[in-house]
């Protein structure tokens, strides 16, 4: 097995998060329901973007991209594969991800859909109203999977949110094939109970066929996967099906299930949970980096929980502190 170029390579939706405050009455005038996420088409995406104030924040987003950014913040070598268009927001995504130390070189989509965006309008009372346009990110294909990049990553990690488009599914399976060809691990996150409900047979097949080696889930996703309200039953089932499962339990911490062994760690205390967005993404970053660097399950779980504790203490799905420094302070440097 050759030396790795990357500790973790992630594959998923390439989305630009655009956040802007709006005055009273804007949400109602635009026909939106406050506090709800709306899926929108190209025309609506362009219309709403043109109405956002220039004070807007624009940052690269998407679950797997957040995980890659977390790996980089922890001092790891991270790469991301995801599709943006050859447009202004594609430039934003590219430069922003590169600026945080993530290798990103997926070819741009030309003459097609626009770069995906999640436009988040903040009302004066702090309520968040989201309008999501998926656009180019759903155009990922097998042609975007580079064997040398996958083969050069200790772990390739893919998000369930991108399991809907047929061509993206093929890309995921091909990536797992290249990972295994180079004796690397392939990992997959269930992403959301809604994804599990839609694709349960396919997700179970991915796991049972050993297409993926590591499975990430929270308690709700895991119970949904096995259609049970009993966490113990779900844990026993995933122990039979997956080589390794990492399960987040919110304030209760996290557990890993491997070869019949269950290892649990408590959550790191936080003064106040400000925004839970990105908690699972950052947990995955810490756990994946720990595994990629040969840490044991307990240490990998602790690194994941520490990263998650940082991101939930402020607004936004990206760390504000240097996670490498934070992990060293807790004796978790890998």
In sequence order, which residues have a C-beta less than 8 Å from that of residue 190 and are 6 or more positions away? 160, 196, 203, 215, 216, 217, 221, 222, 224, 225
Q: What is d(CA 78, CA 68) in angstroms, rounded to the nearest whole number?
A: 5
**Is the pLDDT at 331 greater than 90, yes or no?**
no
Number of CB atoms found within 10 A of residue 51's CB? 14
SS (HEC) of 171-206? HHHHHHHHHHHCCCEEEEECCCHHHHHHHHHHHHHH
Task: Give the pLDDT band of residue 2 (cuts 50, 70, 90).
Answer: low
* Rounded distance between C-alpha atoms, residue 232 and residue 18, angstroms: 40
Q: What is the CA radius of gyration of the chain?
A: 19
Alpha carbons 208 and 289: distance in angstroms, whole number: 24
- Are 207 and 182 in contact by the 8 Å Cβ rule? The answer is no
Q: Are 155 and 214 in contact (CB under 8 A)?
A: yes
Q: What is the CA angle 293-307-210, rounded to 5?
A: 50
Q: 238-241 contacts: CB < 8 A, separation 24 or more?
A: 238/207, 241/204, 241/207, 241/208
* pLDDT, tens only, 306-323: 999 998 887 777 888 888
Which of residues 316 and 119 earns the better pLDDT score? 119
CA distance 46 to 114: 9
Contact 303, 334 (CB under 8 A): yes
Helices 193-208, 231-241: axis angle to 10 degrees equals 40
Percent helix, percent strand, percent coil in the chain, to nearest 5: 45, 20, 35
Residue 214: strand, helix, or coil:
strand
Query: How does DSSP assign 39-68, residue by residue?
Result: E--HHHHHHHHHHS-TT-EEEEE-HHHHHH
For 316, the token pair is 């936004």
Dump pLDDT digits (tens) for 265-301: 999 988 888 777 788 999 999 999 999 999 999 999 9
Q: What are phi and psi of 314, to 5 degrees?
A: -150, 170
In 3D space, the residue among 111, 95, 16, 112 whose CA is nearest the CA of residue 57 turns out to be 16
CA angle 69, 146, 70 (to 5 degrees): 10
pLDDT of residue 315: 75
- Per residue in 47-101, pLDDT (tens digit) is 999 998 888 888 888 999 999 999 999 999 999 999 999 999 999 999 999 999 9
Of the given ranges (1-5, 131-135, 261-265, 317-321), which has the lowest mean pLDDT? Answer: 1-5
Tell me the three state secondary structure of residue 331: coil
């Amino acid at each position: 097995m050759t030396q790795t170029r990357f500790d973790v390579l992630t594959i998923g939706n390439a989305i630009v998060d655009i956040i802007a405050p709006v005055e009273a009455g804007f949400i109602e005038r635009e026909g939106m329901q406050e506090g709800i996420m709306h899926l929108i088409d190209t025309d609506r995406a362009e219309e709403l973007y043109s109405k956002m104030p220039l004070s807007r924040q624009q940052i690269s987003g998407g679950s797997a991209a957040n995980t890659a950014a977390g790996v980089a913040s922890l001092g790891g070598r991270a790469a991301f594969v995801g599709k943006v268009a050859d447009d202004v927001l594609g430039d934003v995504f590219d430069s922003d991800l590169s600026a945080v130390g993530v290798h990103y070189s997926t070819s741009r989509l030309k003459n097609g859909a626009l770069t995906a965006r999640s436009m988040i309008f903040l009302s004066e009372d702090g309520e968040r109203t989201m309008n999501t346009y998926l656009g180019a990110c759903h155009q990922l294909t097998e042609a975007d999977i580079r064997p040398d990049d996958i083969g050069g990553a200790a772990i390739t990690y893919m998000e369930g949110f991108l399991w809907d488009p047929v061509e993206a599914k093929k890309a995921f399976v091909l990536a797992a094939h290249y990972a295994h060809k180079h004796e690397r691990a392939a990992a997959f996150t269930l992403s959301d109970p809604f994804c599990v409900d839609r694709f349960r047979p396919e997700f179970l097949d991915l796991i049972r066929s050993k297409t993926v080696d590591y499975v990430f889930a929270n308690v709700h996703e895991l119970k949904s996967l096995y259609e049970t309200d009993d966490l113990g039953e779900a844990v026993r089932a995933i122990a039979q099906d997956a080589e390794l499962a990492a399960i987040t339990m919110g304030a209760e911490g996290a557990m890993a299930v491997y070869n019949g062994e269950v290892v649990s760690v408590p959550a790191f205390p936080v003064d106040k949970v400000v925004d839970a967005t990105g908690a699972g993404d950052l947990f995955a970053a810490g756990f994946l980096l720990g595994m990629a660097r040969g840490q044991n399950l307990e240490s990998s779980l602790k690194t994941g929980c520490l990263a998650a504790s940082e991101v939930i203490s402020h607004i936004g799905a990206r760390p504000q502190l240097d996670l490498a420094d934070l992990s060293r302070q807790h004796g978790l440097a890998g």
